[in-house]
Amino acid sequence: MSTTLTRVNVTGMTCGHCVASVTEEIGEIAGVEGVDVTLETGEVAITSDRELARADIAAAVAEAGYGLA
Amino acid sequence: MSTTLTRVNVTGMTCGHCVASVTEEIGEIAGVEGVDVTLETGEVAITSDRELARADIAAAVAEAGYGLA
């Protein structure tokens, strides 16, 4: 059992609703165990039980209506 | 049948999610028929079938997590 930590930066989030949307969409990626979003900086820390593809994260963020920096 | 138009200004909205929250909460006030929110200015135009109490609007806006200017 190992945990992978992936960090990305998301642009365009302005409020707690945005954080909730991003957290929800990233949380639906297979293997994701935790999502920690810092609104002020756009930093998102994702813990997962496997390596994540950046394309999958980008797709989830886009689904929420935002983009990767 | 007459329609009343009430205008208020809401502070703190930053994105479409905020607009949706404010629209939903104001829409639940008895008699409200329509809610038109302009995100950029915070202006909210409310149409209703009766006079609305500003206190009721303030309570709805507070419920959504925002305030009246």
When the pLDDT of each residue in chain B is averaged and rounded to a whole number, the result is 96
Nearest residue on chain B to A13, judged by CA atoms? B15
CB-based contact, A14 to chain B, within 8 Å: yes
State the DSSP code for A67: E
Average pLDDT over residues B37-58: 97
Q: Over the stretch B14-43, which tens digit does the pLDDT of each residue have? A: 999 999 999 999 999 999 999 999 999 999
State the DSSP code for A50: S
CB-based contact, A18 to chain B, within 8 Å: yes
Q: How far is CA A41 from the centre of its chain?
A: 13
The answer to whether the CB atoms of A21 and B18 lie below 8 A apart is no
CB-based contact, A17 to chain B, within 8 Å: yes
Cβ B65 vs Cβ B14: under 8 Å: no
Q: Over the stretch A33-62, which tens digit does the pLDDT of each residue have? A: 999 999 999 999 999 999 999 999 999 999
Cβ B20 vs Cβ B29: under 8 Å: no
Q: Over the stretch A21-37, which tens digit does the pLDDT of each residue have? A: 999 999 999 999 999 99
CB-based contact, B2 to chain A, within 8 Å: no
> Is ipTM over 0.85?
no
Structure tokens at B31: 């008699």
pLDDT of residue B2: 87
